[in-house]
A and B are shown apart, each in its own frame.
Chain A
Amino acid sequence: MSLNRRSFLTGGLAGTAGAALGAGLLTGGARADAHAITDTRTLPPSYPFHGKHQAGVLMPPPAHKQNFACFAAFDTTTASRAELAGLMRALTQRARLLAAGGTPADLGVGHPPSDSDVLGPAVPADGLTVTAAVGASLFDDRYGLAAQRPAGLTPMGVFPNDAPDPAWLHGDLMLQICAHHPDTVHHALRDIAKHTRGGMQLRYRMDGFNSPPRPSGTPRNLLGFKDGTANPTGATAAGLVWVTDTREPAWARGGSYQVLRIIRMLVEFWDRVSINEQQNMFGRRRDSGAPLDGNSEFDTPNYAADPHGNVIPLDAHIRLANPRTPATANQRIIRRSYNYDLGADENGNLETGHLFVCYQQDVKHQFETIQTRLINEPLVDYVQPFGGGYFYTLPGVRDANDWYGRGLLT
């Protein structure tokens, strides 16, 4: 009997020890994995190309956006509206093929290879989305499209504190190319340019990357702050983004206004600013992303309880950008921003910053209203917006016979 109890105890102890060891190893492993580079194998391998709206705006949603992006502005060089339509067809065809992935065409021995093989012999979709948008300049006198211009599509103006560089501004066409890996983004841009050669010419281009959650929650921008926490989601987002206004030309329904602001961040200067000042400028804690009156990232700041800005200063970025009042609720935008890193400037400072991207139904009512509130916010000393523009994201490509801007050009 005592022997049985002893063996029972021994067995129990061994079992417990084994279970504890196993559990410890697996938990430790899980924690180590979480700290390692995000595993992209769990990301969706592809996103559908056809639909009422283009991919790359709300699909995947900004909170799950692909980690790498390229914003490429083109000027069209086509001589006529018919040629422009041909260009858009070619663009659509490439984007459709690339978004699905597959084996590139075999051109035989009488031609250089059809594909660069940058992604290997079988091109993976790798979560690629190509989002095509048009700039106000496309509606000038070249193609007779002036009457079709979306009502709110103008060239981006200059805001106080901007440092515009014409080489980095505007464009007839804006392609937002996003994917899970930078080589996929590069390959897509290269392939599209090859197949549209002669019809459009790259004007400027900026590659962006999205940081993984550090350590959790919304990814951080290069000022070290979580960026995109208060982004509307789901039906709210859809209601703020897709153009439904009957005053807009019929072809434009289902599109969206895109604002791209290429903003240099003076990170060396920023890093010499005290943490209190940094946090007061944003209105959030840098470590957790919590609003200064809250405990965790997704707490809602209560401005009504702080009318004089004792906790969150009245000129803090989050307070000016989104005052969270009923009157400003429909001014909200959907941000889908990326970081960029270009090397160094001639003074030896990092040439790095932020590709601010937002989508909305009405630029004037949404982005410009917010941007106007942000004029002279304390943050302006540390950032220099110098490029980008306003673009109109075309309605989605419905099916295999549809193409970008068909409603506009036919």
Chain B
Amino acid sequence: MRWPDAVPNLLIGLREGLEAGLIVAILLAALRKSGADGKRVSSAGIWLGVLGAVMVAGSFAAVVTFSTGVLSSRWQEAVGGALSVLAVGLVTVMIFWMRRTAASLSRELRGKVDTAVSVGMGALALTAFLAVGREGLETTLFLWTAARAAGDTLAPLAGAAIGVGTAVVLCWLLFRRAIRLNLGAFFARTAIALMVIAAGVLSYGLGELQDARLLSGRDWVAFDLGTRVDANSWWASILTGVTDLSARMTVLQAVAWIVYLAVVIPAFVRAGRPAAAKPAAAAPMPVKAPGRSGGGSWDRRTGRLLTRRPWVAAAVLVIVPAVIAAAVIVALPTAGQAGATFVTVTDSRCAPEWSSARTGSQAFQVENKSAKAGEINLVNASGAVAAEVETIGPATTAPMSATLTAGSYTFRCYLAGRAATSSATVQATGRPGSPAPAPVKPVTLAEVTPAAAAYRAYVARQLAMLTAEVTGLRADLRRGNLPAARRDWLPAQLTWERIGAAYDSFGDLGGAIDGLPQGLPGGASDKSFTGLHRLEYGLWHRQTAAELVPIATRLAGDVARLRGKLTQLTIDPTGLPLRAHEILEDALRDHLSGMTDEGAGAAFAETYADLQGTRVVLAELTPLIRAQSPLLLPAAGAQMAALQTALLATRAGGDWRSLAGTPLAARQRADAAIGAVLETLSAVPDLLEVPPPR
């Protein structure tokens, strides 16, 4: 909230409120004077008129606010711009009108009261209604455009409220003759300030019309200080807040601002001189004209009606504007965001607003009013999650979308460090719409743990196999038999690939066994490049057996160490569902791109091993996946079979070929097949998500 934004509306509220208040004061005074003639007339009519006028202005404000909210941005700009220019016109005319005719108005108004009294209370009400209503509409328009120009609602509204409130108190004090105020000087001085504000609103309105393309010159910029001035600095916010100017102005905006002030202020000062010369005694309180009221006969007829049925009249004056406004607002098409259901979460309550629901696609706005982060779920009768906000920060609002079918739904709120809370359970009703995605029942840690344990046993068996293979590879090298070493390298590498699902559980040992030269300062000759790919590099880059024996020895040691540590390693069971697609994602990213090829050209063989590893993970998870989505595994199974076929088809005479040595069509078939599998398997982590412990 920027307080300078409140200044223009404070001033407008104060001034217009004072004007309207003075009209009421004059009417009341005149009434009392007429009453002195012996004919007592109740002042209720005047208050009725005032109330009606306030209702009309309020309804107008509501209609303007709501109707522009649903417009497209271009129409919003057009309407906002046009109303701004209109408001400036009205305010300017009002300032001059008042200055010119101030002297005679009080008298004129008193004359009207005399006629009104002779007709009855209704005419009094009408007089007050017209006088205050016009003032009110003008004020509303100006307040609305000033708030729009400020781009904020709270500060301008607060400013307006303070201004109007002050005006009411001042009027009351003036009426009770508790204070004296040089109103002439007050209005003359505020008029100048009002003009400066009006110039800002005019320039803002023209800018809006340019943005709406109703006026040309949107890109003819006079100055743009946006990059040089910090718009949030205190002086910039005071300047922009008070004058409604912005850091970027087009030539039209800048010229209009200067010309408006250059014409209006001198004219105002000139117009004031003769007025000041007139005897002020006749009119101590300059007041605006109540406007031409309707023809006399209509006046009288309406007046009579109002007199006979005062309460009906009151109801009509107050209710009719509100009803019309409500009807207009309801008739407006709803904007996209307007359809969102708003729910809140507090420390103790979960979505207390959740009281009715409909089927079909819908949007929610979830506001976390607590000081804790949390997760919000919308669950169905069986506890399956239909929609969720995975993480909602303290004091934030997050959007959530859901497609609901008929059934009952409950919000569950899990705030950090607090017991879970639930909303009421609400029945979603409505037409059975398009098919909705199946809600997902959260998987518990207990459910995935057996799968993870089974996988750990599998890893242990694979590591035993790897140990034997590395030992054989080292023996080849010790014998100096490089062709045998090249032959024996691939099975070891593939064994490692098949345990891929545990890759990031092994810490530094994983890197030591299967690291790559990328990212090392020395590249392939870096000392910390060790393991299977280092052997691959040496074997396919003419290094001698003697050079490679220490590397093989180191590798055997690392594998042995890993086996020893395996029982203490914590393999996160909740990570296993991720591996269902990540092993093959890595194959696509690292192997099929050629990134991991250190010379052996084993990309397709490695991908094939990764497919086998993926099958193992899926086998462990099968019961869980089947419970959530019965169709996923058959689809994935067919796609994995196609991938296997495509991978095996890249071989020539039973031998794996390098990426570059494989015909494009065969590569494309393998790439297409792995892509298809991945699209299907990508749902597994979402289906088997284990909620964090709470």
Are A and B physically bound partners? yes
**Chain A interface (Cβ < 8 Å from any Cβ of B):** 21, 25-33, 35-36, 39, 41-42, 75, 77, 103, 106-112, 122, 194, 197-201, 203
Sample of 4 further A-B pairs with CB below 8 A, known A31-B220, A108-B387, A110-B437: A29-B215, A77-B669, A106-B402, A198-B639
- Could you say which of B151-159, B654-662, B673-681 contacts chain A? B673-681
Residues of A within 8 A of B220 (CB): 28-29, 31-33
Residues of B within 8 A of A32 (CB): 217, 219-220, 251
Roughly how many angstroms separate A39 CA and B219 CA in the complex, as a whole number?
Answer: 11
Q: Is the CB of A109 within 8 A of B386?
A: yes
Q: Please provide the 4 A-B residue pairs with the shortest distance between their CB atoms, ordered closest to farther.
A: A29-B217, A198-B676, A108-B437, A32-B220
List the A residue with the shortest CB-CB distance to B217: A29
* Listed residue (B252, B401, B403) with the most chain A CB atoms within 10 angstroms of its CB: B252
Known: A25-B252, A108-B386, A112-B683. A35 touches B673 (CB 8 A): no
Residue B440 interfacial (CB < 8 Å) = yes
Q: Is the CB of A110 within 8 A of B628?
A: yes
Residues of A within 8 A of B213 (CB): 39, 41-42
Roughly how many angstroms separate A371 CA and B647 CA in the complex, as a whole number?
Answer: 42
Interface residues of B in 413-440 (CB under 8 A from A): 436-440
Residues of A within 8 A of B387 (CB): 108-109
Q: Is the CB of B252 within 8 A of A110?
A: no
Residue B671 interfacial (CB < 8 Å) = yes
The smallest C-beta distance from A26 to any residue of chain B, in angstroms, reads: 5
List the B residue with the shortest CB-CB distance to A25: B252
Residues of A within 8 A of B672 (CB): 77, 197-201
Q: Is the CB of B440 within 8 A of A33?
A: no
Known: A33-B216, A77-B669. A25 touches B255 (CB 8 A): yes
Roughly how many angstroms separate A1 CA and B580 CA in the complex, as a whole number?
Answer: 98
Q: Is the CB of B676 within 8 A of A197?
A: yes
Q: Is the CB of A108 within 8 A of B665?
A: no
The smallest C-beta distance from B653 to any residue of chain A, in angstroms, reads: 23
Q: Is the CB of A106 within 8 A of B683?
A: no
The smallest C-beta distance from A327 to any residue of chain B, in angstroms, reads: 43
Residues of B within 8 A of A103 (CB): 361
Residue B74 interfacial (CB < 8 Å) = yes
Q: Is the CB of A28 within 8 A of B217?
A: yes
Interface residues of B in 336-391 (CB under 8 A from A): 336, 361, 385-388
Residues of B within 8 A of A110 (CB): 437-440, 628-629, 683, 686-687
Contact among B215, B440, B639, B668 with A75 in the assembled complex (CB-CB below 8 Å): B668
Contact indicator per residue, chain B 315-338, by CB within 8 Å of chain A (1) or not (0): 000000000000000000000100
Interface residues of B in 428-461 (CB under 8 A from A): 436-440
Q: Is the CB of A197 within 8 A of B675?
A: yes
Contact among B403, B668, B679 with A108 in the assembled complex (CB-CB below 8 Å): B403
Residues of A within 8 A of B210 (CB): 29
Interface residues of B in 579-616 (CB under 8 A from A): none
Residues of B within 8 A of A111 (CB): 437, 682-683, 686-687
Roughly how many angstroms separate A283 CA and B671 CA in the complex, as a whole number?
Answer: 48
The smallest C-beta distance from A4 to any residue of chain B, in angstroms, reads: 19
Roughly how many angstroms separate A26 CA and B210 CA in the complex, as a whole number?
Answer: 10
Roughly how many angstroms separate A198 CA and B676 CA in the complex, as a whole number?
Answer: 5
Roughly how many angstroms separate A200 CA and B672 CA in the complex, as a whole number?
Answer: 6
The smallest C-beta distance from B359 to any residue of chain A, in angstroms, reads: 13
* Listed residue (A25, A26, A103, A109) with the most chain B CB atoms within 10 angstroms of its CB: A109
Residue B250 interfacial (CB < 8 Å) = yes
Q: Is the CB of B259 within 8 A of A21?
A: yes
Residue B534 interfacial (CB < 8 Å) = no
List the A residue with the shortest CB-CB distance to B689: A109
Q: Is the CB of B216 within 8 A of A26?
A: yes
Interface residues of B in 161-189 (CB under 8 A from A): none
Q: Is the CB of B401 within 8 A of A29?
A: no
Residues of A within 8 A of B629 (CB): 110
Residues of A within 8 A of B686 (CB): 109-112
Q: Is the CB of A26 within 8 A of B215?
A: yes
Residues of B within 8 A of A112 (CB): 682-683, 686
**Chain B interface (Cβ < 8 Å from any Cβ of A):** 74, 210, 213, 215-220, 250-252, 255, 259, 336, 361, 385-388, 401-403, 436-440, 628-629, 639, 642, 664-665, 668-669, 671-673, 675-676, 678-679, 682-683, 686-687
Roughly how many angstroms separate A75 CA and B215 CA in the complex, as a whole number?
Answer: 51
Roughly how many angstroms separate A296 CA and B401 CA in the complex, as a whole number?
Answer: 57
List the B residue with the shortest CB-CB distance to A193: B675
A-B contact pairs, 10 of them (CB 8 A): A25-B255, A26-B252, A28-B251, A29-B252, A30-B217, A109-B386, A110-B439, A110-B629, A197-B675, A197-B678
Roughly how many angstroms separate A122 CA and B386 CA in the complex, as a whole number?
Answer: 21
* Listed residue (B74, B388, B671) with the most chain A CB atoms within 10 angstroms of its CB: B671
Residues of A within 8 A of B439 (CB): 108-110
Known: A33-B216, A194-B679. A106 touches B403 (CB 8 A): yes
Residues of A within 8 A of B217 (CB): 25-26, 28-30, 32-33
Known: A26-B252, A109-B440. A201 touches B668 (CB 8 A): yes
Roughly how many angstroms separate A170 CA and B676 CA in the complex, as a whole number?
Answer: 24
Roughly how many angstroms separate A112 CA and B639 CA in the complex, as a whole number?
Answer: 19
Roughly how many angstroms separate A39 CA and B672 CA in the complex, as a whole number?
Answer: 40
Q: Is the CB of A21 within 8 A of B437?
A: no
The smallest C-beta distance from A103 to any residue of chain B, in angstroms, reads: 8
Residues of B within 8 A of A35 (CB): 219
The smallest C-beta distance from A166 to any residue of chain B, in angstroms, reads: 9
Roughly how many angstroms separate A178 CA and B467 CA in the complex, as a whole number?
Answer: 56
Residues of A within 8 A of B687 (CB): 110-111
The smallest C-beta distance from B363 to any residue of chain A, in angstroms, reads: 9
Residues of A within 8 A of B628 (CB): 110
The smallest C-beta distance from A181 to any residue of chain B, in angstroms, reads: 17
Roughly how many angstroms separate A111 CA and B438 CA in the complex, as a whole number?
Answer: 10
The smallest C-beta distance from B607 to any residue of chain A, in angstroms, reads: 15
Roughly how many angstroms separate A42 CA and B218 CA in the complex, as a whole number?
Answer: 14
Roughly how many angstroms separate A160 CA and B678 CA in the complex, as a whole number?
Answer: 44
Q: Is the CB of A109 within 8 A of B388?
A: yes
Roughly how many angstroms separate A75 CA and B665 CA in the complex, as a whole number?
Answer: 8
List the B residue with the shortest CB-CB distance to A26: B216
Roughly how many angstroms separate A76 CA and B664 CA in the complex, as a whole number?
Answer: 12
Q: Is the CB of A106 within 8 A of B361?
A: yes
Q: Is the CB of A108 within 8 A of B676?
A: no
List the A residue with the shortest CB-CB distance to B401: A106
* Listed residue (A28, A194, A199) with the most chain B CB atoms within 10 angstroms of its CB: A28
Contact among A30, A75, A198 with B675 in the assembled complex (CB-CB below 8 Å): A198
* Listed residue (B74, B629, B672) with the most chain A CB atoms within 10 angstroms of its CB: B672
Q: Is the CB of B675 within 8 A of A33?
A: no
Roughly how many angstroms separate A299 CA and B439 CA in the complex, as a whole number?
Answer: 67
Roughly how many angstroms separate A197 CA and B674 CA in the complex, as a whole number?
Answer: 9
Q: Is the CB of B386 within 8 A of A41?
A: no
Roughly how many angstroms separate A119 CA and B362 CA in the complex, as a whole number?
Answer: 20
List the A residue with the shortest CB-CB distance to B688: A110
Q: Is the CB of B683 within 8 A of A197?
A: no
Known: A36-B219, A106-B402, A110-B440. A198 touches B673 (CB 8 A): yes
* Listed residue (A112, A122, A201) with the most chain B CB atoms within 10 angstroms of its CB: A201
The smallest C-beta distance from A240 to any residue of chain B, in angstroms, reads: 35
The smallest C-beta distance from B207 to any residue of chain A, in angstroms, reads: 12
List the B residue with the shortest CB-CB distance to A199: B672
Contact among A33, A42, A77 with B219 in the assembled complex (CB-CB below 8 Å): A33
Q: Is the CB of A106 within 8 A of B437?
A: yes
Roughly how many angstroms separate A198 CA and B639 CA in the complex, as a whole number?
Answer: 9
The smallest C-beta distance from B322 to any residue of chain A, in angstroms, reads: 34
Q: Is the CB of B336 within 8 A of A122?
A: yes
The smallest C-beta distance from A101 to any residue of chain B, in angstroms, reads: 13
Roughly how many angstroms separate A35 CA and B216 CA in the complex, as a whole number?
Answer: 12
Roughly how many angstroms separate A42 CA and B74 CA in the complex, as a whole number?
Answer: 12
Residues of B within 8 A of A25 (CB): 217, 251-252, 255
Residues of A within 8 A of B436 (CB): 106, 108
Residues of A within 8 A of B385 (CB): 109
Residues of B within 8 A of A36 (CB): 218-219
